[in-house]
Amino acid sequence: MVYRMKVTAIIADDLISNVKQFTNSSTVTEAITIALRDWVDIYNIKELNKKISQNPIFINNGQNIRKINRLK
């Protein structure tokens, strides 16, 4: 089940216009939903990159990884 929240927000007209244009949306609801999902996705990618940078994987020889991938 999808839960939805009705929100009243005061947002500058030019910001809403830009978001609608950049998301190719015809409605404010759709534009804000797309923009928020994109923002959350970018945030999650940044957090994942932080974790990876703390413990990176170094590949000296890709042959072993290719063998493992082909077994799946």
pTM for the whole thing?
A: 0.71
Is residue 6 in a domain? no
pLDDT at 68: 83
Structural domain boundaries, residue 22? 13-71
Is residue 3 in a domain? no
Q: Could you tell me if 23 and 34 are in contact, meaning their C-beta atoms sit under 8 angstroms apart?
A: yes
Is residue 28 in a domain? yes
Pairwise CA distance, residues 46 & 52, whole Å = 10
pLDDT at 28: 96
pLDDT at 24: 97
Is residue 47 in a domain? yes
Tell me the per-residue pLDDT of 7-54, one tens digit each, with 9 for 90 and over: 999 999 999 999 999 999 999 999 999 999 999 999 999 999 999 999
| C-alpha distances in Å from residue 31, one per residue of 10, 14, 19 | 15, 13, 6
pLDDT at 44: 98
pLDDT at 67: 86
The overall longest dimension of the chain from CA atoms, in Å, is 56
